[in-house]
Homo-oligomer: A and B are copies of this chain.
């Protein structure tokens, strides 16, 4: 007889992962390497170390080691807020009347309000170990900036955050949390950097963008002795650290003898999705199991479903290496009506390559239906979800309703990346019936993707 499954499965401290899982080791065709934007040749470790911490560059380039040990200091920090619970959504199942079993991995039980802390603490640790003074980064919705400020204060590192100007103004409380952790927050574009001044001159009164804040943070790191740039998504190293999500999820399912049928994650830069699915994708790559994996993205920023797979700039200022990814073009800006995160023009190269190899599907959803799912979920399961996470909730509910039609008792697992406590402007718009949907036209997409560089080998 199968063990009764509790509402929340918490692993024991001793069952927590001791190593991250590097899915690239099991990929026969590896994700394409980062390219130097000047000569279009693969970036060397030496080049990357000017921008990133040394050990993180090693992780970024490591395609062969399937497991990389989690240093003890990081594991101890993880113990303060992990293991994250794998929750059986009994109440939601009952409310939907579905035979499906719904599980979610809840990563919101920490002050950053999301999974971002999993990588922030790792990156801060390696920066400290390298003897650096501080780290620079950008933040959009604010979870990453909060996470990095927490991690930096823990290790006594200076933390410089460029916060997309519209978020800085619309999320004063998020900014205040970051300040409480001692970080320095600057609205971007600022007048602190060359690239900020250039963008301010070119687009007076601009509200900023993630791509622009990245450029500023990178420049800040490169022009200040003892600083390096760190990033909360997209990069291989971030997905490596986030594999702790998937490893814990799999361990919790295995403990109760549950085999996932469908695995769902929201996808912006790919950090949560990549982390959640890595160990499952690994099994698929090794031919050991099969899963239906669904990446969910906003219809207003549809990189996987409507972008092209090509080398592109990662940032507006074009100072970062080129990365091969599903992209809408670095000039693509989601409509002003788009709330929350998941607004990056590109996608993690690992996720992009797995998608290209057919290991997952992608689905885009519109935001009013996402917020409806969020509200339903909050009322039934008691957690007010982040708008980003609610994309996964939407599709999990849709899949559970399909099971209701077919009568199948599938095991649906989704990532609940975080909480929505700092997203109440968006909830207010929804509550007031003032939220709208936006789907970019084919012309808009074409205009943005036409700006992707067309050097030899970058045909699409």
Q: Which residues of A contact B (CB under 8 A)?
A: 6-8, 10, 12-13, 76-77, 79-81, 87, 90-91, 109-111, 113, 117, 150, 153-154, 172-173, 176-177, 179-182, 375, 378-384, 419, 421-422, 424, 427-428, 431
Contact = CB atoms under 8 A, between A and B. Distances in A.
Contacts of A182: 379
Given A7-B79, A382-B111, A431 B173 contact: no
B173 A421 contact: yes
A110 B177 contact: no
A99 B424 CA distance: 43
Closest CB pairs A-B (n = 7): A173-B424, A7-B79, A6-B13, A176-B424, A153-B379, A421-B421, A111-B384
B13 A427 contact: no
A378 B149 CA distance: 11
B173 A382 contact: no
Contact of A150 (B80, B180, B382): B382
A363 to B, nearest CB: 25
A66 to B, nearest CB: 28
Main secondary structure of the interface of A (DSSP, over half): helix
B427 A180 contact: yes
Copies of the polypeptide in the assembly: 2
Contact of A180 (B109, B110, B375): B375
Contacts of A91: 76, 80, 154
Given A181-B379, A182-B379, A109 B109 contact: yes
Given A7-B79, A80-B7, A422-B421, A110 B382 contact: yes
A215 B109 CA distance: 36
A111 B181 contact: no
A174 to B, nearest CB: 8
Given A6-B13, A111-B382, A173-B173, 10 more contacts: A7-B79, A8-B79, A76-B90, A80-B87, A80-B91, A81-B382, A153-B379, A172-B428, A176-B427, A180-B375
Contacts of A8: 13, 79-80
A180 B384 contact: yes
29 contacts: A6-B13, A8-B80, A80-B91, A81-B382, A111-B378, A111-B382, A111-B383, A111-B384, A111-B419, A111-B421, A150-B379, A150-B382, A153-B379, A154-B380, A172-B424, A172-B428, A173-B173, A173-B421, A173-B424, A176-B427, A176-B428, A176-B431, A177-B421, A177-B424, A179-B428, A179-B431, A180-B375, A181-B378, A181-B379
A96 to B, nearest CB: 15
A28 B12 CA distance: 42
Name the residue in A172, A179, A375, A424 with the highest tally of chain B Cβ atoms < 10 Å from its Cβ. Answer: A424
Nearest to A383: B111
Contacts of A424: 172-173, 176-177
Given A424-B176, A424-B177, A427-B180, A80 B378 contact: no
A80 B381 contact: yes
Between A10, A111, A117, A427, the greatest number of chain B beta carbons within 10 A of the residue's beta carbon is seen for A111
A427 B180 CA distance: 7
Q: Which of A383, A384, A422 has the most CB of B within 10 A?
A: A384
Contacts of A431: 176, 179-180
Contacts of A177: 384, 421, 424, 427
A255 to B, nearest CB: 13
